[in-house]
Structure 1
Amino acid sequence: MSCRFVRSPFRHPASSSQGGFIIIAVLWILVALSTLATIFSLYLSNSARALGATDTGVQVDALVSASLELTAYQLLRADEKDLPAQGSFRFRMDNAEALVTFTSEAARVDLNAASKEMLAGLFEVLGAEQKAAGELASRIVGWRTASKPGATDDEGALYLSAGLNYSPRQAHFAHVNELSLVLGASPALIERALPYLTVFSKSADVDVLIAPPEVIAALPGMTPELLNDFLKQRPSLPRDQKAIAAALGPAKIPATLPQTKAFRVLTALRFDNGRRSSSEAVILLGSGKSSDKANTGAGASAGNKGKDDDEKPYSILSWQDQAETGSRPLKQAGR
């Protein structure tokens, strides 16, 4: 008797299920790997951008530091009593070109030294009504003036009655932006005034040979006619007090060509890839002690690192990146 084994034409159901499960598992693994690859690609791309931005930032800082070094070098080459009031130069480093302009801080109105009349005149020129301009000038003088021992704090009482939770400093302004804390200073007027203000010149007078027309228009006694005449004469005027006084006429009092060692340096950078950047810094020549980007905390100039105080050719009083410049319409309200 013989036996024959007949092969079944049907496969075991378990074999089909197992194969399907393996295919699904493989697909999930492929999807996961694809997702991980995408995430890793994005990570590398973002890391490259971050490193590129960091490298660019380091390069910008290096270029600005170089511009400050070169500005200080040019100024220190001149006689101390005959420092140039302004100037400009260009230089190229690696893949960027820098245009550097420097101007004496005497071209601006000093918040800590200017007279009440000068301050009021500037605010009026910039659009404030005569009464409001005078009141704001009074509040600025009150803010910067120390109270006398035993005297009634009338200035502080004004802030208290206005509902403010602070009193005036009654000391010098530390920065021009502190003007926003002064009672009666509107944000719009502050924005218009900041390009013409400083706390670094330490002089009640302004250098009218380099000052903007807005500052000259603010001089006590200045009229639109006198201003136009003076601006026409200015390019040919020597740095001589008598000649300047004659050209200014009645507005000559606060224009004595003050000497200051503080200079504002604007550095405009243009990279070969089309990127542009600008920075504005104020330096003080031969000051000995550096404040290391005082207003931004962003690091010290290369010229100030590793040197003793007596050897430092300059210090940085202020540093602002992406500085904007521009003139505003001139107004002679009530003047």
Structure 2
Amino acid sequence: MKVRGVNNRGSILVAVLFLAAVMGVLVAVATMSLQAGTDASRSFAESLRAEEAMRAAIEQIGALSGTTGPPRPGGTIVALGETNVEVRFYDEIARIDLNHAPVDLLAGIFRVVGVGPTEARQYAARTIDWRDSDDQLSEEGGAERTAYRAAGRIDGPRNAPFQHVAELSLVLGIPRRVAAAVAPYVTVASGSEMVNPLLADPPVLMAIPGLKEDQVRSFVDDRVHRNLAPKDLIARLGPVEDYVTDQTSKAVRYEGRVRFGGRNDRRFEVVVTTLPGDTEPYRILAWDANPPERMRQLPQ
């Protein structure tokens, strides 16, 4: 009987220790969950603060421009209390518009990112077939619904304008890596068949049919160092009038980095437009939180 009593007390002790260990684990898990929840709440709050700071910076830049049109390309730091917003902004006509550009200009930007001439032309034709409203091939190499079906796709081309640059990766045959490579040089918001070479990056200039690398290099150098009238500077590109303009659009891209008291930062890429007679100062066309790191060098 004495042995049985010792065993019972031992069993009870083991059970108590086991329960204590379980309770310890549960407390640790609960603490970790609480901490994770706190961190998530803090991150969410900072995201909201960053978004509001970016909006405030856009509104301040627009107000300082003093016009209803887009501000001139530039960059600035907007101070909002302990929060600083580093912003670069430029007209979307510096990019090639997927919804309006002709096939030659589209093929050009595909070639610039390393696609062969035949495939580049095919991708360009399929881009046009995606955006146009009919079921007719834009040219040989294009793709309408039957081609998508033959490739095992249950969908087809949108047969309507691109809503976002990322949509390019949905076009039949265009690899995601190619769509990602051209993304910094294309838009869906300028509303123009042409690009403004006074604002465009060198890769966009290289996409213009007929231009060679040495011409582009010389033009960019003149753009920086020579005080020429816009039309005179553009004339130095030669007979490319079908692809270039000195006009601007109503759409502006803002690339922003929001910093909280010098700690961490949040990045944004926002495209806005102004509409005639609109009651709002601007309309957001695209809002990309934490985009790829590619703060653009502004043309001089």
Q: Is the CA contact (8 Å cut-off) linking 2:268 and 2:291 kept in structure 1?
A: yes
Asked whether 1:169 is paired with 2:158, we answer yes
Residue 245 (structure 2) aligned to one of 256, 259, 263? 256
Structure 1 distance, partners of 2:155, 2:209, is 32
Query: 1:173-229, CA deviations, whole angstroms, 9 ceiling, x for partnerless residues?
Result: 222222122223122211111111111000011111111100011112211221121
Query: For structure 2, which runs of at least 5 residues remain unmatched after alignment?
Result: 137-141
The 5 A counterparts of 1:1-335 are 31=21, 34-35=24-25, 37-75=27-65, 77-78=66-67, 80=69, 83-147=70-134, 155-236=144-225, 240-272=229-261, 274-286=263-275, 310-326=278-294
The DSSP-based 3-state class of the residue aligned with 1:166 is: coil
Q: Judging changes above 3 Å, is the alpha-carbon distance between structure 1 residues 95 and 138 closer, same or farther for their aligned structure 2 residues?
A: same
Indicate the percent of aligned positions where both proteins have the same amino acid. 30
Q: Judging changes above 3 Å, is the alpha-carbon distance between structure 1 residues 287 and 162 closer, same or farther for their aligned structure 2 residues?
A: farther
Query: For structure 1, which runs of at least 5 residues remain unmatched after alignment?
Result: 1-11, 289-309, 329-335
Q: Judging changes above 3 Å, is the alpha-carbon distance between structure 1 residues 161 and 227 closer, same or farther for their aligned structure 2 residues?
A: same
Structure 2 distance, partners of 1:96, 1:216, is 36
Write the letter of the residue equivalent to 1:256: T
| Aligned alpha-carbon RMSD (Å) | 3.1
Structure 1 distance, partners of 2:122, 2:199, is 28
The DSSP-based 3-state class of the residue aligned with 2:88 is: strand
The TM-score, its normalising length taken from structure 1, stands at 0.75
Q: Judging changes above 3 Å, is the alpha-carbon distance between structure 1 residues 154 and 39 closer, same or farther for their aligned structure 2 residues?
A: closer
The TM-score, its normalising length taken from structure 2, stands at 0.83
Structure 2 distance, partners of 1:209, 1:203, is 15
My pick for the range that moved more, 49-58 or 189-198, is 49-58
Write the letter of the residue equivalent to 1:50: A
Q: Judging changes above 3 Å, is the alpha-carbon distance between structure 1 residues 144 and 93 closer, same or farther for their aligned structure 2 residues?
A: same
Residue correspondences, number: 291
Q: CA deviation at 1:66?
A: 1.5
My pick for the range that moved more, 123-132 or 106-115, is 123-132
The structure with the largest alpha-carbon Rg is 1
Structure 2 distance, partners of 1:135, 1:19, is 83
